[in-house]
Amino acid sequence: MPDPRAFVSFDFDNDQTSKTLFAGQAKSDSPTPFTVQDWSSKSSLPQATWEATIAKKIAATNMCIVLVGRNLKTAGGVAKEVAMAHEADVPVFGVYVDGAGTTSILPAGLQRNRTMAWNWKLIAAAVDQMMGEGKNA
């Protein structure tokens, strides 16, 4: 399997550490037969360029992985990124981080049955599924 290209969507204000750990583990430490190329934004962008830049990045990926933290409900950008993924026919799944769980609020467009604990076996199965979906599969 070629290395999946994943856009990692996360609450920039509250889950930067979780995103860094997730992307790092996906590249090297995960007990999975893949690596994830992290195509998410590395810094805050001006609103004027954010939507065009992010939409282009998402459209060039195989999947969008949403890191669902405890404060995600206040991160409006994540809901926009999920909508962009759906518009680009890029499959989306979520991973709970930072103490979030099955009662945490999800952004519009992210299905509860496609959101899981930070468990690399579950994530590997989701990545395999996502690689079979979407226009970039």
| Band of residue 110 on the pLDDT scale cut at 50, 70, 90 | very high
Residue 78 confidence (pLDDT): 92
Write down the H helix ranges in the chain.
Answer: 16-24, 47-59, 76-87, 120-131
Residue 74 near residue 100, CB atoms below 8 Å: no
Q: Which of 6-10, 31-35, 65-69, 132-136 has the lowest mean pLDDT?
A: 31-35
End-to-end CA distance of the chain: 11
In the predicted structure, residue 106 carries a pLDDT above the cut 90: yes
| Band of residue 30 on the pLDDT scale cut at 50, 70, 90 | low
Helix, strand or coil for residue 32? coil
Residue 137 confidence (pLDDT): 52
In the predicted structure, residue 33 carries a pLDDT above the cut 60: no
Name the percent of the chain in helix, strand, coil, to the closest 5. 40, 15, 45
Quote the crossing angle between the two packed helices 76-87 and 47-59, to the nearest 10°. Answer: 40
Question: In Å, what is the CA distance from 34 to each residue of 37, 107, 118, 120?
Answer: 10, 27, 16, 11
Taking the C-alpha atoms of residue 84 and residue 86, their distance in angstroms, rounded to an integer, is 5
pTM over 0.85: yes
In the predicted structure, residue 2 carries a pLDDT above the cut 80: no
Strands 37-38 and 63-68: what pairing? unpaired
| Domains in the chain with CATH codes | 5-131 (3.40.50.300)
Residue 34 confidence (pLDDT): 62
Residue 133 confidence (pLDDT): 75
Instruction: Please give the residue that has the higher pLDDT: either 7 or 35.
Output: 7
